[in-house]
Chain A
Amino acid sequence: MADQTADHVAWQESLHPIAGVQLRLRRAGKGPPLLILHHDTGTLDQLPAYAALARHFELLLPEHPGYGQSERPAWMRSVRDLAITYRWLLAELGLSRAALLGLGFGGWIAAEMAGMAPEDPAQVMLVGPMGIKPPAGETGGDILDQALVSHIDYARAGFHDQAAFDALYGAEPSTDQLVEWDLCREMNFRIAWKPYMHSLTLQHLLGGVRSPTLIAWGAEDRVVPSSTAERWRQAMPKARIELVAGCGHCVEMEKPAELVRLVTTFAQRG
């Protein structure tokens, strides 16, 4: 039953004791290893983008410690702590050179990992990453603060097209989903409360990254303004930047084909 149907991934699940907690990892697909780092809202088990990527890569989809079914490390205080935890996981798996695909908040984690080991990742691919403060001004502003909006409103803000949200989560997300979002939110607060969802030091630490880097952004991102891409370009001058038209923050859920095309093309070239 390891075969993939068109949009279903047959995940192999395992638990890994890393940094004192049990980390839940799902693996599927064949090809070069690709570590997918999910959003600050966790991840659904199945996504068309995952199914498509599994045809090109060996996917590694962990749940961040403290999110979903991964145990919470009570000591964890920063996204950098989280990045070190993942470096540890990759070393444990013998996959330190895995390509990184970071989605939103996961993009921040991936960037931290790249900064720590500037030659290691086969590719670094960041999609609407948090972690760097957006520029001020009309097209900039702040990262959308989930502390001030409801769980559903925050998740919906990740989509330019609300129909895409409805299709994945349902027009009225289940109470189980809300509980999961609340758990995610608590961990977000524990490690990224102040400064909110960005680091004051990350942008100064990315200049040494040797891995080919792609930065993709939904042009209509309401969570992290796409104008922040310019800040990333300054931090990583060699990075390739791609805007996805008519798309919000969650590119992998709203425009999966577009993202898969960007990722596979970039990975083959890199």
Chain B
Amino acid sequence: MHIMYFTEQPMSAYPADKGLEFGATALMFPNTHFDPVAGSRLYNEFIEQYKLAEAVGFDGIMLNEHHNAPFCMQAKANVFASILAAITERVKIVILGNPLPLSENPVRIAEELAMIDMISKGRLVSGFVRGGGQEQLATGVNPAYNRERFEEAHDLIVKTWTLPGPFRFEGNHYHNRVVNPWAVPLQKPHPRIWIPGVISKETVIWAARHRYPYIALNTTVEQTNNIWKLYDSVAEEVGFKGGPEYHGYLKQVHVAETDERAIENARQFTWMQGEFTGLAHPVWSTPSGYSSPENRRGFVEFSTGRGTSPRRRPSFEEQIQNNMIIAGKPETVIAKLRQVMEQTRPGIMSLWANDGFMSQQDSLTCIRLMGQEVLPALRETAKALDLNSPFEAETPVSLQFSTDLQPRAAAAE
């Protein structure tokens, strides 16, 4: 079991009432509400959290990136990954992930990641994402080519990492006259690639076809198991056996000295009005062409208030009830997490531990209690359930670099 610490790095000093007044907390919510003095304090608090997470025994620190919104202060995951490369010594630096379509030059991403891998002495796990809908608008990238750009940028990055340069790359979206960066990754054949996601089936299938572990982001137990079923069936098709070492799960988990305190703090997980990525107009979060054509009707119904949001979350109480949010004193949390682990059998767990307006002191207490009590219990459970991480199972980094494939024979005529 690989256990990571995660925080969205919330810009919790923004005036929440202004967001409600404006009607949105993403994309167009004016950045005049961003306070750089508070921002400076918060960035440094997050660094303190990451240092403590390593000290108390987490295996990895998960990072991500978003734009134009208070729910996440990381505008460039590689910046924090670089910082962690220098200030930590043991934890894996797990970027989930770099939003590839937003980049106009994926070779630059490959270079940055290679530098992070070398500086961290080979501790990088390099996840890739498509980027949210509003991220495309925030960076002016065409949402209609999002998936094409994601796949093409990925191909270019893996080539950049693994083919001797110089070579030329002529794609549909990326055209590189000379690919020959002098920074290449320390890990061979290349750093591990994990793919996080929420609801897109195409991404699950794509991850399985590449033999990249898939990290389900805060999905329900049922959704998670459906994802594994799909993943493992595609895995079988392409010739490997799925299972826990390819299954990752991000959960909102908060620990405090008492259940009452933990529950009170955990309300902060709903601080973005119940939306995953802040309150946004549906056409910002799902621009035309960004989503699968099969979702078109459901999306336009949602965008006019005739349907429900595909990302809608139930009430806080319901989320506590069904273990979507797990909060309590250590023994409460351990029992609930054990139940979730039995139900979903992940080899990678990410604990999204602190969010919203939780105080720094409570955040640090949470991390400390996790390290002292929760992590040892999770590791025992993982052992009992035979849940191994990709590192423990020593899985190949990708399908391309697999030597043990047994593709299912094509069906007879």
Contact A189-B301, Cβ < 8 Å, known A147-B137, A149-B283, A182-B288: no
In the complex the two chains form, is A182's CB within 8 Å of B296's CB?
yes
Contact A186-B283, Cβ < 8 Å, known A151-B300, A152-B304, A194-B142: no
A266 close to chain B: CB less than 8 A: no
In the complex, which residues of chain A have a beta carbon less than 8 angstroms from the beta carbon of B289?
185-186, 189-190
Among A126-183, those with CB < 8 Å from B are 147-152, 175, 178-179, 181-183
Query: 0/1 per residue, B129-140, Cβ < 8 Å to A?
Result: 000000001001
Contact A186-B144, Cβ < 8 Å, known A147-B137, A175-B300: yes
The DSSP consensus for interface residues of chain A is: helix
In the complex the two chains form, is B301's CB within 8 Å of A148's CB?
no
In the complex the two chains form, is B142's CB within 8 Å of A189's CB?
yes
Contact A175-B301, Cβ < 8 Å, known A189-B143, A189-B289, A190-B142: yes
What is the minimal beta-carbon distance from A143 to any residue of chain B, in angstroms? 15
Q: Which residue of A lies closest to B305 (CB)?
A: A150
Q: How many chain B residues touch A (Cβ–Cβ < 8 Å)?
A: 22
In the complex the two chains form, is A148's CB within 8 Å of B145's CB?
no
In the complex the two chains form, is A148's CB within 8 Å of B284's CB?
yes
Report Cα–Cα, A194/B145, bound state, in Å. Answer: 13
19 A-B pairs within 8 Å (CB atoms) are namely A148-B28, A148-B283, A148-B284, A149-B281, A149-B283, A151-B303, A152-B304, A175-B297, A175-B301, A175-B306, A179-B297, A182-B288, A186-B289, A189-B287, A190-B142, A190-B145, A190-B289, A194-B140, A194-B142
B231 close to chain A: CB less than 8 A: no
Q: Which residue of B lies closest to A153 (CB)?
A: B283
A11 close to chain B: CB less than 8 A: no
In the complex the two chains form, is B283's CB within 8 Å of A151's CB?
yes
In the complex, which residues of chain B have a beta carbon less than 8 angstroms from the beta carbon of A189?
142-144, 287-289
Known A-B contacts: A175-B297, A175-B300, A178-B301. Give 7 more (CB < 8 A).
A148-B28, A148-B137, A151-B304, A179-B297, A182-B296, A185-B288, A188-B288
Q: Which residue of B lies closest to A192 (CB)?
A: B142
B228 close to chain A: CB less than 8 A: no
Query: 0/1 per residue, A189-207, Cβ < 8 Å to B?
Result: 1100110000000000000
Among B287-341, those with CB < 8 Å from A are 287-289, 296-297, 299-301, 303-304, 306
Report Cα–Cα, A35/B137, bound state, in Å. Answer: 34
What is the minimal beta-carbon distance from B257 to any residue of chain A, in angstroms? 46
Residue of A149, A178, A182, A190 with most partner-chain B CB within 10 A: A182
Report Cα–Cα, A190/B306, bound state, in Å. Answer: 27
Report Cα–Cα, A193/B137, bound state, in Å. Answer: 11
Report Cα–Cα, A151/B287, bound state, in Å. Answer: 11
Q: How many chain A residues touch B (Cβ–Cβ < 8 Å)?
A: 19
Q: Which residue of A lies closest to B282 (CB)?
A: A150
What is the minimal beta-carbon distance from B382 to any residue of chain A, in angstroms? 44
In the complex, which residues of chain A have a beta carbon less than 8 angstroms from the beta carbon of B306?
175
In the complex, which residues of chain B have a beta carbon less than 8 angstroms from the beta carbon of A151?
283, 300, 303-304
What is the minimal beta-carbon distance from A82 to any residue of chain B, in angstroms? 15
In the complex, which residues of chain A have a beta carbon less than 8 angstroms from the beta carbon of B296?
179, 182-183
Q: Which residue of B lies closest to A193 (CB)?
A: B142
Report Cα–Cα, A147/B287, bound state, in Å. Answer: 7
In the complex, which residues of chain A have a beta carbon less than 8 angstroms from the beta carbon of B281?
148-150
In the complex the two chains form, is B300's CB within 8 Å of A179's CB?
yes
Q: Which residue of A lies closest to B300 (CB)?
A: A178
In the complex, which residues of chain B have a beta carbon less than 8 angstroms from the beta carbon of A186?
144, 288-289
What is the minimal beta-carbon distance from A41 to any residue of chain B, in angstroms? 12
Report Cα–Cα, A151/B300, bound state, in Å. Answer: 8
In the complex, which residues of chain A have a beta carbon less than 8 angstroms from the beta carbon of B143?
147, 189
What is the minimal beta-carbon distance from B152 to any residue of chain A, in angstroms? 14
In the complex the two chains form, is A193's CB within 8 Å of B144's CB?
yes
Report Cα–Cα, A93/B289, bound state, in Å. Answer: 32
In the complex, which residues of chain B have a beta carbon less than 8 angstroms from the beta carbon of A183?
288, 296
Contact A182-B299, Cβ < 8 Å, known A147-B287, A148-B137: yes
In the complex, which residues of chain A have a beta carbon less than 8 angstroms from the beta carbon of B297?
175, 179
Report Cα–Cα, A122/B54, bound state, in Å. Answer: 75
In the complex the two chains form, is A190's CB within 8 Å of B144's CB?
yes
Q: Which residue of B lies closest to A176 (CB)?
A: B297
Among B76-135, those with CB < 8 Å from A are none
Within 8 Å by CB of A147, from B283, B299, B301, B303, lies B283
